[in-house]
Amino acid sequence: MTEKEKIEAAIQEFKPALEKLDNEFVGQTIGVARAMDEMRKNLDAIEEVLDRREHDRAAQMGYRELSSTFIWLQRALGGLQDVQNHKHTLVAEIAMALGVPVYEKVTPYVDAVLDSAKVLTKEQKELNRKQSDELYAQLKAEGKTIMDYMEEKRQSGKTE
C-alpha cells in the first residue's frame, strides 16, 4: 500500500470527524460573512449621516451600532480561528495514526475532502449569500440557531 493510499484510508476512518469539522467551518464562515455584511451596512449608514453633516449622530452610531458589530465580527473570527485550530489538531491525529512524520503530507488530502476548503466562484458566493439569508430567516422563525441546523444536518447524515 502506497503512502497516498494509507493516508486516504486513514481519512476515511476519520470521515465523521472531518464532516463535523466541515460543518463547523461552514457555520463559522457564515457568521463572519453576516457580521461583515452588517459592518458594511453600518459604515454606509454612518457615511450617509456624515454626508448630511450630522456629526453628533455619526459619532453616536459609531459608538453604538458600529462598535457592537465590530465585536460581533471579532467573536465570529475567533470562532473561525478555533475551528482552524481544530483542523490542525485533527490533521495531526491522522498523521500520528499513520506514523507519517510530516504533518504537511496529510493536509492536502484532508483539504481535498473538505467542502469548506474549496474556493468559490463569485456566482457561488452570491447563491450562498441568498440561501444563507433565506435559511437564517427560516431558523429565526423556528427559534433555532445555525449551529442547531448544522447539528441536525450532521445527525441526519445529510451533507451538501
SS (HEC) of 17-43: HHHHHHHHHHHHHHHHHHHHHHHHHHH
The whole-number pLDDT of residue 150 equals 67
Tell me: pLDDT of 7 over 80. yes
| Banded model confidence at residue 160, pLDDT cuts 50, 70, 90 | very low
CB 90 within 8 A of CB 17: yes
Average pLDDT estimate for 56-75: 90
pTM: 0.73
Smallest Cα–Cα separation from 31: which of 88, 84, 75? 75
Task: Give residue for cell 475532502.
Answer: 113
